[in-house]
Structure 1
């Protein structure tokens, strides 16, 4: 049995349709999270009625601690920035968690916090196949993925996600900034023993999102000679 830590994590989860995955994500978090203090904050990005009714019911059941319903799709960067402002004052960390996951191990979150160093820690890596992961050219820096991403609260609040990049490049830019400031960025390539990420369940809004046409040169300018660190399986 893992002892509870004094730290508290605010889990920030965005939802947009895909109700079956939303429910699985929320129930698996609630049923399979042990040894850690946390709150679950859900922000719905203008889902259809079925998903809105679902999250409202889960909130009434007590499975969602705080619920924000938007009448527009704020996408990833703005949505997480809004959700972060709803966090309890005693939260020390934020966890950005997709609504298309299934928790597999009750220690998934306590483990992520245990290996965390000040900065950013994730399940999932992208980039640089020379290290055995990702699918880019091998010239781009190794980066952490954003579907299950732990970050110190004060670092997030000092440099929130850049809403000029509405989708995943907001996380890319944020982690590059942390590295440039001397903080740690690390992630697991292999994470299936902790949770499963289905991926791609919230539609195709990313195709028209602002800030998606990022050149390799611009990304490299963010990172310089730095990149994320790959953690081994445990």
Structure 2
């Protein structure tokens, strides 16, 4: 029996109202024929975005909205969003709020090429180890729920540690280095709040050790639809 894929798209927001609009607008226009929901967790943005997000909810661009009174940063924010997901979701997609969807096949390409584990647009080739990036990060729901993002690492090392756990358990971790046809990541549009995040100051050898001599798969160019 074929499993019907149902994706919960987890989006964190923190200010940068123009980029949030661009992300959610392009998402709702260019994601046809996929059963998905959009869950937004706002990290105590300025008033403008706090007023705008409920309007996007009313418009149908957002399915579930959580307005926090503090900045949960990346790890905790996504964990909160994951707990709001529909019970029958098969996958989670962690999507930054400073991206622009460019092709209606963007999510189909990820899903069709996905093997149990993680598939991502974007890779970090080194420093200290090759890994997939976290701005468009597809993962099987059971794997995310098993491990969650480690909130001891509030920012990007949480996504690194999660993929290392998944990889060392024998699952696929694959990233597409070139994906501009489908999605553009502007990057760094939510400010510098991460500078004070816990878990940023980590020994590179510890990060390398998480992977236990295993390597992710880096694909130069995302496949055609």
Shorter-chain TM range is: over 0.9
Could you give the per-residue CA deviations for residues 148-173 of structure 1, whole angstroms, max 9, x where no partner exists? Answer: 00000000000000000000000000
Structure 1 match to 2:6: 8
Matches of 1:141 and 1:35, distance apart in 2: 36
Stretch deviating more after TM superposition (163-172 or 31-40): 31-40
Residue from 149, 155, 163 that aligns with 1:175: 163
Deviation at 1:127, TM superposition (A): 2.4
Aligned mate of 1:43, from 41, 44, 48: 41
Gaps in structure 2 of 5+ consecutive residues: none
1:54 paired residue among 47, 52, 55: 52
What are the Cα deviations for residues 73-93 of structure 1, in whole angstroms up to 9, with x where unaligned? Answer: 000000000000000011100
Stretches of structure 1 that go unaligned for 5 or more consecutive residues are: 129-135
- Correspondence list, 1:103-122, <5 A: 103-122=101-120
**CA distance in structure 2 between the partners assigned to 1:226 and 1:115 by the alignment:** 21
Q: Which residue of 1 aligns with 2:186?
A: 198
Distance in 2 (alpha carbons) for counterparts of 1:141 and 1:224? 11
Match of 1:216 in 2: 204
Pick from 150, 157, 162: which aligns with 2:145?
157
Residue 144 of structure 1 corresponds to 132
* Worse overlay, 200-209 or 223-232: 223-232
Q: Is the CA contact (8 Å cut-off) linking 1:19 and 1:50 kept in structure 2?
A: yes
- The 1-side partners of 2:102 and 2:196 are apart by 33
Paired with 1:155 and 1:175, the residues of 2 have a C-alpha distance of 10
In the other structure, the counterpart of 2:216 is 228
1:213 Cα deviation from its structure 2 partner: 0.7
Residue in 1 that maps onto 2:61: 63
**C-alpha RMSD of matched pairs (Å):** 0.9
* TM-superposition CA deviations, 1:7-62 (whole Å, max 9, x none): 10000000000000001100100001122110000000000000111111100111
TM-score (norm 2): 0.96
Distance 2:28 2:208 in 1: 39
- Please state if 1:99 is matched with 2:87: no
CA distance in 2, matches of 1:147, 1:48: 22
Give 1:132's aligned residue: none
CA distance in 1: counterparts of 2:52 and 2:213, whole angstroms? 45
SS in 2 for 1:189: strand
Matched with 1:133 is none
Runs of 4+ in 1 over 3 A off after TM superposition: none
2-side partners of 1:89 and 1:213: how far apart? 36
Pairs aligned (count): 220
